[in-house]
A and B are shown apart, each in its own frame.
Chain A
Amino acid sequence: MELNNVLGFPILSVATFLPTVGALLIWLLVKNETMVRWSALAFSIATFIVTLPLIFSFDRTTSHMQFEEFHHWIPAFNINYQLGVDGISMPFIVLTGLLIVICIISAWQCIQTRVKEYMIAFLILETTLIGVFSALDAILFYFFWEAMLIPMYLIIGVWGGKNRIYATLKFFLYTLAGSVLMLVALLAMHFEAGGTFSMLAFMDYPFDFTWQFWIFIAFFVAFAVKVPMWPVHTWLPDAHTEAPTAGSVILAGILLKMGAYGYLRFSLPMLPDASQYFAPMMIGLSLVAIVYISLVAMMQRDMKRLIAYSSIAHMGFVTLGTFVFTQQALEGAVINMISHGFVAAALFLCVGVMYDRLHSREIADYGGVANVMPVFAAVMLVFSMANVALPGSSAFIGEIMVLIGTFAADPMALSVSAKWIAIAAAISVVLSACYTLWMYKRVIMGDLVKDTVRSMPDMSLREFGIFVPLIVLTVWVGFYPVPVLDLLHESVAHLIDQSTTSKLDAAAAILEHATASHAAAH
């Protein structure tokens, strides 16, 4: 088997397992808490640096998987250790690398109990996240997908807020329920596709419609929980509110992307006919997310809950862009995912900065923060405006591309004219402004009336420093998204091709062939 890896070096494995190695070393060797922090930071930075060649050596002219690795894992069941990335998955690996560094720095002071376990949890989490985005074997993917729950569960359950037990339980049950169905679906595909677990083989195998139909439903549930889509979204606000700041950052920044990534990697290319069939439903749910969830967000009294709802609404744009099958919408969806990784992560960090000072997430406990924290107010303004998708922010690029791609979508595939879908989604222009600015007004603006707020010091250099890369990236992608889009073009074009090419004829041919050879055998 020819492996496409220009580096000639297992970069994905290194990126995946370097954090685990770090976690092990810290567990075994490091005693002192300060040293734990520094060594965790060192390993996260090292991992981030390892991921960078993925961008610089990436071949933008092909949709093929790159940096591939292949080893037999469990030959008896044809399970292989197969890694590789394309333009869709690669950016998320780098983003993971960056956000974990930010998470570790952001927890520098606010985590004082079980520091070692905390850092280990984050490093292991990094392994599972990078693993999910690089796996090309369904079982390997599933392994990382499930394993990720453990550190995340611990992060919320151990270092979370007052209601953390309820939140972790809800988080766990929801995602587990989805995952079980996914496992069933993977096994079903395995047997139907002739005993392989290769995701690429699943993409090529012509499943007939009935198979596609049921497998799509199983995947739909698994991924919808993760996105999350209405009506299986209610675990997210709880998980976010109870999670420590860094937990929210990684949850919003990366974990939410995995559901949408699942649709892009599994549902669309493997089940094109079912994807087309279910597209109206997916679009409908996306619109519900955009409108219903935005209205719910508006009424929130807890900042983290508000941003969590806002995340769900933004993910509505991602799922919308995924299921209209146009180049612009799909690229917009991916840009939206990346952008949301900057913006939502930064907004949760903002809340974290305030929480560290007042130990409250209630909007009503704040007001007039700008008086005492002008620098912080400016930083939060940048991300509030990005959350509103103002041009010049990365979110604008994502949203306008999804809207443009939706407007131009082929109306034949949908029961309603795609134009009206785009117009309905564009309501977000107004709603996102409502909930974001209203929160900003109540928290940041206004006179100083509360003594507690009066005593809030402005951000430290460390706190400010973690926002700098996120500001730079948000604005950079906002003004010059072309390099990022270049990464996507080929992979997305290929994906559009896959998801709009019916597998049914080929499936019928196989059936015919099977029947014919069966008859011939007799």
Chain B
Amino acid sequence: MVLEATEMTLNTTELLAIPLLPLLGALTAGLFGWFLKERLSHIITSGSVILAAILSVHVFLQVLDGAEFYGNFWTWIASGDLVVQIGMMIDPLTTIMMMTVTVVSACVHIYTIGYMHGDPGYARFFSYISAFTFSMLVLVMGNSFFTLFFGWEAVGLFSYLLIGFWFKRDSANKAAMKAFIVNRVGDFGFAIGILAVWYYFGTVDYREVFAQVQGLVASGSTMSFLGWEMDTITFICLALFVGAMGKSGQVPLHVWLPDSMEGPTPISALIHAATMVTAGVFMVARLSPMFEYSEVALAAVVIVGAITAFMCATIGLVQNDIKRVIAYSTCSQLGYMFVACGVSAYSAGIFHLMTHAYFKALLFLAAGSVIHAVMSNQDIRKMGQLRKYMPITYITMLLAGLALAGIPPFAGYYSKDLIIEATYARGMGWTSEIAYYALMSGVFMTAFYTFRMFFLTFHNSDRVPAATKSHLHESPWVITLPLVILAVGAVVAGYWGYHYMNMADEVIVDGYFRNSIFVMDAHNSIAMLEMLEEDHTQSHFWLEYGAFVLAVLGILTATLMYFKETKVPAAIAKTFRPIHTFLYNKWYWDELYDFLFVRPIQKLGQFFWQTGDLRLIDKGMIHGGIIGTVKNGAAMLKNIQSGMVYHYAYAMVIGVFGLLTYLMLNA
């Protein structure tokens, strides 16, 4: 479990350059954007991120050969026993994240050149996305809970700024605020987790903490929570997981993620699909040496992931906003990743994280290309037949859709199938069983809503408003090039990861991840899966091909309903009106929160202010009590205030000393 020191290490300068290059680009564009103008701003930021991507790939290759790095650079906080260092821990888990983040970010940077062209906040936008890239890199490269938290909060900040990027739009501002505050609810849990980690382990350094987990568990340490006694490690993991739920849009903290679509599309692709929202999954995988020791926490991860995977898929079925469909799909797919972590198939979770990053970023960028063409319309009811106008967007989105639906040999197939099978094999009792059915039904729905959106956009009937018609065109190369690059990822990442990188080896240490992920033998669901499949006394058809069959069925259903314009969707919506309304209104989470939290809290604040402060303290205590008794004195003070304040002041000083003298003389 303990990560051993390795012989091969990496070049510190190179490692530092990876996060610092984007930071430098961000600062330059942010501070001097007014001077640099559009061209230089994007050259500097995109250039630095592309360089960071190249370096990340280089580091990735070195780590593949067995190199690792662990080191501290400076002391952030030191007080008594509390010592917080800023440092890096580079291992296979880190490098796969670094590569994913920088490659997607580089694509998004290039794409943004075309997408944001002419926007008054052009340089600011580049500054934000580069700064975001820096923050995300800190998050994944750090070696302690504090660096994780730093990156965590910093990505939250830039997510906030980018969702509210078009600050003239009230809906964008509301969505930005909602995202920040809901994330903060998660961070509340995260912060408590950090406090507990420091208290029980006396350090916040990953390695040192991981080395002590077994000892803490063996000591039988417990904490009582609202009269419910739980293992300390469970408490810590659950608290940290609350943070992961917030960042990764898991029920019940998912409400901000669909609303975040108010931001410009490039950031939906970068932040709200490929990178930031996967930070929660990364966290659980990174902390696998802790989560592995808490059955309760693992079960919670499975349940939350399964519910999210299922629920968000159902909502995605009926949404009409192209970006919202994809956003709900993101929530749902993140649920798959969490289930993978919960059943201890962390490698499958991270594998899906990687493939998902490529095809989901692609879906978003392609959607952005569509939105760009139809003049900022996002309603798929007003699209249709767009394939005639934008062939590259059409093809790349089809590839992404197939990858998301889980059709072999596209990327999503490998990773998603693995998660589902591992969940089946894990046998955690009712939790993994429920999760299995949730994920399986999710496969059908995913395929359905993806192709519903796809057909309504590119096939079906032409419903584009006449005014937009003349504007329809394929996007310029800066937009289509990233689509093509990501499409390559969406097609090959799964095959590559599974067959070449060995990301799903049943013995983790033999596979790609080596020591960076820890799985107890008793939890190793991928090994269990292998054993299950080797048992030839049973038929494994459903286990091996079930998900594929469901995906094909989903696509077929979507084809029947939406490939050509039919009356079926309307009829179904009418027949199942209550269900449709319920899903269309996203299970009424927003309304529920408004009722449960927003309004009561505002009422409470109003009550504390008006009744507590103004009526009880001010009127009751001060006016009624104190001022009432010194009424004469107050009246006198009032007179004195009309211009003779200096006199009063001197009188006071004299008075004080008079009193003092009197008291002392009488002593």
Contacts and interface: CB of A to CB of B under 8 A. Distances in A.
A46 interface: no
Interface stretch (A14-22, A93-101, A437-445): A437-445
A328 B164 contact: no
A296 B612 contact: yes
Contacts of B622: 170, 234
A231 B660 CA distance: 29
26 contacts: A77-B664, A139-B660, A150-B652, A157-B645, A177-B626, A187-B664, A234-B622, A292-B608, A295-B604, A295-B608, A296-B609, A299-B606, A368-B167, A390-B154, A400-B77, A407-B199, A408-B198, A419-B223, A429-B184, A433-B180, A437-B160, A437-B177, A438-B177, A445-B164, A447-B170, A448-B168
Interface string A239-259: 000000000000000000000
B70 interface: no
B173 A390 contact: no
Nearest to B664: A77
B520 interface: no
Contact of B181 (A142, A434, A485): A434
B195 A296 contact: no
Given A327-B79, A485-B79, A489-B79, A446 B168 contact: yes
Interface stretch (B40-48, B186-194, B380-388, B412-420): B186-194
A407 B157 contact: no
B526 to A, nearest CB: 36
Contacts of B626: 173, 177
Interface in A351-398: 368, 370-371, 381, 385, 390-392, 397
B191 A447 contact: no
B168 A368 contact: yes
B5 interface: no
A244 to B, nearest CB: 15
Contacts of A55: none
A297 B604 CA distance: 11
A70 B645 CA distance: 34
A481 B180 contact: no
Contacts of B12: none
Contacts of B82: 327-328, 401, 404
Interface residues of B, number: 71
B78 interface: yes
A153 B185 contact: no
A519 interface: no
A296 B605 contact: yes
What bracket does the count of chain A residues touching chain B fall in?
A: 35 or more
A327 B83 CA distance: 12
A407 B198 contact: yes
A165 interface: yes
A378 to B, nearest CB: 8
Given A150-B652, A191-B667, A295-B604, A426 B79 contact: no
B181 A445 contact: no
B79 A295 contact: no
Contacts of A368: 167-168
B659 A183 contact: yes
B570 interface: no
Given A234-B613, A296-B605, A296-B612, A479 B77 contact: no
Q: Which 10 A-B pairs have the closest CB atoms?
A: A327-B80, A295-B605, A150-B649, A299-B605, A407-B195, A447-B168, A445-B167, A391-B150, A296-B609, A445-B173
Contacts of B602: 298-299
A464 to B, nearest CB: 13
A165 B641 contact: yes
B656 interface: yes
Nearest to B74: A480
A93 B653 CA distance: 23
Contacts of A139: 660
A281 interface: no
